[in-house]
Structure formats: C-alpha cells, structure tokens
Amino acid sequence: MGMGAGAKARFKVISEIHLRLPRQFDLPQDEHGKKLRVSEFYGVNTFDIHKMKEKLPKDIYTQLISTIETGKKLDSAIAHTVAHAIKEWAMLRGVTHFCHWFQPQTGSTAEKHDAFISFDDNNRTLEKFSGAQLIQSEPDASSFPSGGMRTTFEARGYTAWDPSSPVFIMEHVNGKTLCIPSVFISYYGHALDEKTGLLRSIEVLSQKATELLHLLGYSGVKRVVPTLGVEQEYFLIDRAFHHLRPDLLMTGRTLVGGQPPKGQQLEDHYFGSIPARVQAFMSEVEYELYKLGVPVKTRHNEVAPSQFETAPIFEEANIATDHNQLTMEILRKVSIRHGFSVLLHEKPFAGINGSGKHNNWALTISASGSGLDGENLLDPGKTPQHNIRFLLILAGILKGVQKHAGLLRAGIASAGNDHRLGANEAPPAIISVFLGDLLNRILNDLEQGMGSQQSPEAAIIQLGLSQLPEVMKDNTDRNRTSPFAFTGNKFEFRAVGSSASTAFPVTLLNAAVADAFSDLVEALKKKEKSSSGIEAAVLELVRETIYETRAIRFEGNNYSEEWLKEAIQRGLPHLRKTPEALDELVTLRSKEMLSRLNVFSEAELVSRFHVRIERYIKNMLIEVDTLKSIVDTQILPCALAYYGLLANAAHAAKSLGGAVPQAEVMSRLGVLLESIQAKRTRLDAILLHVESQKSEKDQARGFSIEVAGMMADLRTICDELESVVADDYWPLPKYREILFLS
C-alpha cells in the first residue's frame, strides 16, 4: 500500500518551499527615476487635513475642521462642495467607484460599491458624486447581525459618513475605490455597527474629562480625546500548507497537531533576524499602509516561530480603530501576493504562544485654544499642579476599571480569545491594573501619609509629587502578565484578541472611565465647598479613590495560582469562558451606565449580547464539525491504512516463522484506534445534548465546557496517532513543517 494522496500533496509542498523566492516590488519614483522617500508618498491615497485645506474653499475647510474637532454633525449646506472636491481628487487618482465603508458586528468591514457614472438630460454619460451621496447611503441591513433588534424582512439600514475619519482610496488589481468611513444604523436609529458606540463613547468621555479639568482650573479645554496605538500580532505561514489544513481554512486554528521537537523553548525567535520572504512581505505591507496614511512604525519577530508583529504610532482612537481594520485587510491581501497566509486567530497552534492586540490607550487634550493642545493627561508633568491633575486622572481610570471590570472582560470575550487568556502567554481572564513599584508606592504613601490637617503644598513636597516627571520615566519593569498595565504615559490593554476589532473593547473602556470621571466631578464639587482650596479637595478625593480601588491594583505575577485565589478574595470577577463573560453586558449595572451615558441603549446592548452569544455558538459548531470531518475522512483512514500495512507485514513475518517487530506498534495503534472511535461517538452524543438546550445561553455554556472538553480529549488521541503513524501516511502538514519551513 503506497503513500496517500494527502501525504503526497504534503511532501510536494515541502519539496517546493526552498524554491520560493522573496517577491520584489519597487517603491514609486519621481520623473528622474529616483525612488521617493516615505514622506513623499505617505497618505497619497487619503483625503486628509492637508488635502482638505488645499482642495476646499477656506470657509468650507474651516467649517469641516470644526465639525471634525467638535464631533458635531456635518452641515448639509457644505456637503456638496466637499463631495465635489473629494470626487475630483479621487478621479485624478484613477478612482471609478465609491462606497460607504462600515463595520458591522461581524468583526470585519463591509462595503457596497457604486460607480460615479451618471447621465445628463441628453443621456450623455458623466461622473457625478453629490453631497447627499457623500453623507448617506442605504445598504440592505437584513443580512447583518442585529441581535433581534429587527426581523430579517425589515431590510432598511443607513450608512452615514463619519467626517472625523479620513476618506481613503483602496487599490485593487483592476481599479480603485473611494471608501467613506461610516456608521451603520437601522431605520429606527439603532446602532447596527461597532463604530457608532465608539464615537458615542469618545464624545461622552470628552465631556466628562473636560468637566473634571474645568474644576481644576483648565477652563480653556474644550475637548479631550482618547488616543490609541494598536500592536498587531499575527502568524505567517506558506499558503500551500494553509490549503492542506481544513481546520485552518474553516476555523483559523489547528484543531489537531502534535508538538514539534523544537517550539519556542530556545527563545530564539523573538526579535530575531526576519526571514527574507517575510521581510519582503512586511516591506510591501508598510508601503500599502503608508499610502493609506497608516503610521506603521515597528516590525519584528514575535516569541513563537512564524509569529510577527507590526505596530503604528498612536492616533485618535476612532482613526486608530479604522486603521487597524485596514492593517488586517492589507496583511491578508499582501500575504496572497507573497504566497503566504496570515493567521489572525488568537491561538492558531496549540502549545505555543498565541496572538494578541495590545491597545495602548491614553487621553489627550484637544481644541483647548490655550497652549494645552496635545498634552497627554497620563504624562506626569513638571509642576505640582500638573501632577495633581495626573493623579486625579489616574484615580478616575482606576475607579472606572474596578467598577466595570466585568464589563471590560466582556469586551474581549470570544471563542478564539478563550484559548489565549490565562495560558501563560497572555493576561488571565481576571481584569487587574499594574502601575509599577514606584507609582504604586506613591499611591500607597498618598493614601496613608497625608493627614487631614496637612496642607496640599506640604503633602506634595512630602510625597515627592513635585518631582514626579523625573522618577516616572521608565521607573519599573513591564508586567506582561497584566491585562491593563501602565507603561509610563499610557495604559496597555493587553487582553484584546488579535482578530478582534478594537472598537468594542475601547468603547467599553471609554465608557467605564467616563462613568468614573462623572463620579469624581460630583464628589469634587462637594469637597471643594468644604475644603481650603481645589488642590486640597483633589488630594482628599484622590486619597479616597486610591483606597476604594486597592482591589484592582496588582503588581505581581498574574499567572500564579496564588493570584487567582487572592483575586477571588478581593471580589474581582474571574470569568473564564466567553458565555459567562458576556453575561456582564446585560447586568443592571452595565445597562444603567451605558444607557445613562448614551453609549448604548438597553435594546442595543441586549442585541450585542445576543450577537456575540450566537457568534460564539456558530464558531464552536464550525469547529466541531470540522474536527469530526478531519477525524472521519483523514485521520482514521490513514491510521487504519497504516494498521493494515503493519498487519500484512506481521502476517508475512509469521508465515516465514520469524519474529513480528511490528507487534508493539500495532498494539499501541490498536488501542488508539479504539479510543478515537469511542471518543468520536461520545462527541456526537454530547453535541446532540448541547444543541437540544432551548436557550442560547445554555447552549453556549454547554459548548464552552462539555463540547470543548471532549474536543480537547479527541485531539489528544489524534496528536498521539500522529506520533505513531508513519510519516508518509499522515495527510496533514505537521507543526514542524508549517512553522519552520516558510
């Protein structure tokens, strides 16, 4: 019996890998044939502020910038002029179509293309793009998830331009499309997308932060914006291997696969030399992103083999979210040109590190008109007043994270992230805050050392707050086990999954902090009346808040068993799996806070719960059906064929009166074959039981525990079979090949 078709395909790919050469592409050149610098083509496909100023009349430009900076609705009276300028710019770039580019609750983006082409009264063709077309479009909303807010026969939905995010051009093989970043709402005004809630959260956070700053005497501040820098991790594997793995194709992760002799234990991948094919891929990705105005800055190997990371310079959170979606899309598109597949799943390979999306979040003053523009509120300053401001903002963030820790956990919940969180490679499912030894000590001293009769000036000197800038710079090691860590002048929300949109977790973070700021505003108003001055009131409020938020602060190893026990004693929620985490979306506290702040109505929030529960169940069903198919059509046939080969050899040896060297292998293989068939049958029974549950919540819990547990047991047998069956019989590319040959 010869080599199977699957094994032949696998060996063919292995033999061809070393022949693959890096794809070459040329950077654009000027008229003299000299290659352009990045600064000379950066943002060429983006209608940014500079192009607005160049293409628009001064009064129209001023109004549009005001709309962008204040978050107000665009005046329809100027829309036609703006649309005409955008159309003329786009057509000079070779654009023929336009679309409203939006982010439904699928985790990806959506678009419907329309041509500029139109006809005049004499039926002659012309290119037309009106203000009405710029501002609004009407895609079919029935095929997008709504979580029960609408029935499938109610198809009407609207996309509306978000002027705060620049219009851009996407290039494809035979053309270019003008993309208009948009929100997506239902006929009745309900948010059907990820962006609407994000914009609302940004607005309310700005309002509450501005109120707080006004109480501190910063009366010129008109707007505060959250900024975001998104580190994107991903795996890159040869595309041929990808197509030989049904599990990677269907689910984004390997459902079976034995561990290679070498994984990441030698720690030789992180920041190592980037392979030539990968370097070529990264260069072209950056070229495409630069044209779109995405400020990608960093690239490097990650900890696991064939794992990499790219990271941009921070931007306003709304734009950074759009740019991260573009980054994921460009990664996928460019990978095809280079013969790669990009894997964005949080845990594509068992036994080695998964991938996250670290969200570096901060707050920046905008539109102050008083010389404060661009100041980071999480950047310690050079004066006592500045550092009192820093401590108050910090206290508010701690309060928001502790008060809504469960909600923040819900924001990062997904079937993929369940495999990563708490796996000694990523933060655990318990939300806590790391501040660093020095800052933590300052907060403890402030809590304990400032007497009620002590003046603010004396407290500042005693606690060293006037010297905060000098001691805060890189004063502590990073804590990679913390889900929410302070890193000098920002917080790194490390727990977000690599495939996720940043919109939802950042929306909930913005809302949680806005809610805490609202509490601080009311408390500060009361304290100011009975204190000797605003600084004394602030320090007293900070001290109280620090005391109230002690439970959320943790400086140690978040992976340790001791921390799990301690966190429960502190009252922190430990929500291990997605179904129990998603319950936090629909608690009374979450509903009250998010509706009060006008981030989500109760109906919108409940819909998001149902969308995510339904998506979790569907993902799990796809995984279990794929695993069953792999076992039935690939693993069992190859194992039985190999067993038959051994049996024939044993029979021949016996007939010649010789020893049977295959006996031990046959015995082990026989036991595994019996076990895999028994567990395969058991999986069907468990699946039938779980699917019979009437409620989505019960089904989801059943999938997360019973079905996932049996899938893991079945995988264990499959992976042991891989180590027993002859290499030239095994049909699936192995970890050692996928991760080390590309």
Q: Is the pLDDT of residue 685 over 90?
A: yes
Confidence check: pLDDT of 427 > 90 = no
**Confidence check: pLDDT of 103 > 80:** yes
Tokens of 688: 């039938």
Report which DSSP code applies to 81. Answer: H
- Helices (DSSP H) in 142-226: which residue ranges? 195-215
CB 539 within 8 A of CB 376: no
Kindly write down the DSSP assignment for every residue of 137-148, as one continuous string: E--B-TTS--TT
| Strand partners for 316 | 227
Q: What is the pLDDT of residue 455?
A: 47
Compute the average pLDDT of residues 355-361. 95
End-to-end alpha carbon distance in the chain: 31
Who has greater pLDDT, 151 or 242? 242
What is the pLDDT of the chain when averaged over all its residues? 87
CA distance 586 to 574: 17
CATH numbers and ranges of domains, the chain? 42-193 (3.10.20.70), 201-254+267-600 (3.30.590.10), 615-740 (1.20.120.1560)
Q: How far is 591 from 600, CA to CA, in rounded Å?
A: 8
- pLDDT tens-digit map of 493-534: 999 999 999 999 999 999 999 999 999 999 999 888 777 778
What pLDDT, on a 0 to 100 scale, did the predictor assign at position 476?
Answer: 47
Structure tokens at 164: 């705060």
pLDDT digit string, tens, across residues 430-454: 999 999 887 888 888 787 765 444 4
- Token output for 169: 């051009």
The H-or-E segment that residue 522 falls in is helix 503-530
**From CA 636, how far away is CA 674, in angstroms rounded?**
10
Do the bridges between strand 315-316 and strand 223-238 make them parallel or antiparallel, or are there none, so unpaired? antiparallel
What pLDDT sits at residue 148? 59
Percent of the chain as helix, strand, coil, to the nearest 5:
50, 15, 35
Inform me whether the pLDDT recorded for 470 exceeds 50.
Answer: no
* Euclidean distance between CA atoms 39 and 41, whole angstroms: 6
Q: pLDDT of 572-630, one tens digit each? A: 999 999 999 999 999 999 999 999 999 999 999 999 999 999 999 999 999 999 999 99
pLDDT in tens, 176-223: 999 999 988 877 778 888 999 999 999 999 999 999 999 998 988 989
Ramachandran assignment for 119, one of left (phi > 0), alpha (psi -120 to 50 degrees), beta (any other): beta
**pLDDT, position 473:** 44
Residue-wise pLDDT tens digits, 288-304: 999 999 999 998 888 88
Task: Please answer whether residues 355 and 345 qualify as being in contact, where contact means their C-beta atoms are separated by less than 8 angstroms.
Answer: yes
pLDDT number for residue 424: 66
Q: Does the pLDDT of residue 331 top 90, yes or no?
A: yes
Statement: residue 460 has pLDDT above 60: no
- Which residue type, as a one-letter code, is found at position 264? Q
Q: Tokens 């269907």 appear where?
A: 250
**Residue 140 confidence (pLDDT):** 59
**Whole-number Å distance between alpha carbons of 202 and 194:** 13
For position 650, what pLDDT does the model report?
78
What are the tokens at 646? 């051994």
Q: Bridge-partner residues for 117, per DSSP?
A: 127
**Weakest-pLDDT range from 191-195, 229-233, 374-378, 467-471:** 467-471
